[in-house]
Amino acid sequence: MKQFLLIGAALVLLLASCDDNDDQTKIVNKDGSVEVTLSTRHIDSLKDELTTNYKVWRYGSLVREYAKKDTVPSLNTFTTEAENDNGDTKNISVKKDYEFFVTVK
């Protein structure tokens, strides 16, 4: 029974020490990596532009930099409450933005 208690306590301590942002990097390894930046821009009420920028790094120098652009359907708008500097609130219509989910293999 004591073994299960010790294992359970160790497991709780291990899980408590986990951080959700462990996979985020602050510095790009420029010895050999591909840096990718994703962004969207609202073109009009029907279309958004998706831009993917690539930087290829090798041995500390930028080997190649290029961008790919694509047009995707817009996600329409939603209504939200906004507040100005005076504290006045007003319901406004805002365009929805795409969320990015990246899978790396």
Tens of pLDDT, residue by residue over 81-101, are: 888 888 888 888 888 888 888
In this structure, what token pair is assigned to residue 73?
């359907």
Statement: the pTM of the whole predicted model exceeds 0.75: no
* Separation of alpha carbons 97 and 61, rounded Å: 34
Residue type (1 letter), 97: D
Residue type (1 letter), 11: L
Give a three-class secondary structure readout of 24-35.
Answer: CCCCCCCCEEEE
Helix (H) or strand (E) holding 26: none
Structural domain boundaries in the chain: 28-95
Q: Which residues pair with 11 in a beta bridge?
A: none
Tens of pLDDT, residue by residue over 20-65, are: 555 667 788 888 999 999 999 999 888 999 999 999 999 999 999 9
